[in-house]
């Protein structure tokens, strides 16, 4: 039986934002995939207003990990206690507490204290150092602080929307089209190339070259896709996003509807902080290309139109694929 050690750490960050704002970001774990770099997807399994059970997937060093996360939320003391267990390493949990202390109306101190159970020999024997185990929480604190300090902008930087299409055809064939993204260069006109790896069933790392940009340029994109065939869902998070997008996540889903299925693409976007201001007169032309001049409303409308059009085109092609496959089988 491998030996286990417990690594204890506590790190603190000063945040130029109200304490309630910071606590709200920590409490709203379902939005973490859009707000923080690491999380890919969060499913809320149960919540009674205080105790919460979550399933979380994140990306670290090019590998997708899955966790069970149990949390206790206390908005009065602004604390979040948690126990997190890697599904690949049962019996080796990480426990800890997030604490937010107000320092006046517009500043606070954020603390993350945690005990991490480590398997195997000491860190020196595995090539890891104490600094390695300190780096991850330090980076997380920095990201939360940076996000919270933009709290007055968040309403205009965040947008969510969905596009739907009624499909007369089997859900299995629509899902097959959406799942087999490696075939999209032959099926979807705005996809020029695709490379997909699926080392773990249902977890895809996809690299696509797409020309579905407002100005017709070809962009190289990378994403993580979590595929749930039994639920007819595919959740994704983009890892490389073009200006003016800072973060982009979404979900393809199929719902029974009348004589077929309702195909849905729901998307969430966070814009870059500088995206809602017109480019300066001396801005490089390539950097300013496609940048609307009308501020936040124009940027939001452009992104909504661009991503919505690409999603709708893909849904229509998925419907055509399903309907024509049925005709060929008859």
Q: What is the pLDDT of residues 203-260, one digit of tens each?
A: 999 999 998 777 778 889 999 999 999 999 999 999 999 999 999 999 999 999 888 8
Query: Cβ distance 157 to 34 under 8 Å?
Result: no
DSSP string covering 8-62: EEEEEEEESS-HHHHHHHHH-GGGHHHHSSSEEEEEEEEE-SSEEEEEEEEEETT
Structural domains present in the chain:
4-148 (3.30.530.20), 156-329 (3.30.530.20)
Tokens 């919270």 map to which residue? 148
Whats the size of the chain, residue-wise? 330
Higher pLDDT, 117 or 109: 109
Q: How sure is the predictor about 325, in pLDDT bands with cuts at 50, 70 and 90?
A: confident
**Rounded CA separation 244/241 (Å):** 8
Element (H, E) at 191: strand 191-200
Residue 125's pLDDT is 39
Pairing of strands 63-74, 108-119: unpaired
- SS3 label, residue 127: coil
Q: pLDDT of 269-299, one tens digit each?
A: 999 998 876 555 555 544 444 455 558 889 9
Q: Could you tell me the pTM of the whole model?
A: 0.88
CA proximity to 204, closest of 238, 170, 174, 163? 238
CA 170 to chain centre: 29
Q: How sure is the predictor about 1, in pLDDT bands with cuts at 50, 70 and 90?
A: very low
């Amino acid at each position: 039986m491998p030996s286990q050690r417990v690594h204890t750490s506590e790190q603190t960050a000063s945040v130029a934002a109200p304490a309630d704002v910071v606590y709200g970001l920590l409490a709203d774990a379902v939005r973490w995939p859009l707000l923080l770099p690491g999380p890919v997807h969060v499913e809320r399994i149960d919540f009674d207003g205080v105790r919460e059970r979550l399933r979380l997937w994140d990306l670290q060093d090019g590998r997708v990990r899955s966790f069970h996360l149990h949390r206790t939320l206390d908005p009065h003391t602004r604390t979040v206690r948690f126990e997190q267990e890697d599904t690949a390493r049962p019996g080796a949990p990480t426990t800890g507490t997030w604490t937010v202390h107000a320092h006046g109306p517009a500043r606070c101190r954020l603390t993350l204290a945690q005990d991490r159970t480590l398997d195997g020999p000491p860190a020196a024997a595995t090539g890891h150092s104490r600094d390695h185990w300190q780096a991850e929480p330090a980076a997380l604190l920095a990201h939360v602080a940076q996000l919270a300090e933009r709290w007055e902008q968040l309403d205009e930087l965040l947008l969510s929307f969905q596009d739907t299409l009624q499909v007369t055809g089997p859900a299995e064939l629509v899902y097959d089209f959406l799942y087999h993204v490696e075939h999209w260069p032959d099926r979807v006109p705005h996809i020029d190339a695709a490379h997909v790896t699926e080392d773990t069933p249902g977890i895809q790392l996809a690299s696509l070259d797409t020309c579905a940009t407002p100005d017709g340029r070809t962009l190289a994109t990378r994403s993580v896709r979590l595929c749930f065939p039994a639920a007819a869902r595919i959740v994704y998070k983009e890892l490389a996003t073009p200006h003016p997008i800072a973060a982009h996540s979404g979900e393809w889903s199929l719902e029974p509807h009348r004589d077929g299925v309702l195909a849905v693409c729901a998307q969430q976007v966070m814009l870059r902080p500088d995206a809602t201001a017109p480019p300066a007169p001396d801005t490089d032309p390539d950097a300013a290309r496609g940048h609307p001049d009308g501020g936040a409303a124009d940027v939001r409308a452009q992104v909504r139109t661009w991503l919505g059009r690409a999603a709708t085109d893909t849904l229509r092609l998925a419907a055509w694929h399903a309907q024509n496959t049925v005709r060929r089988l008859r």
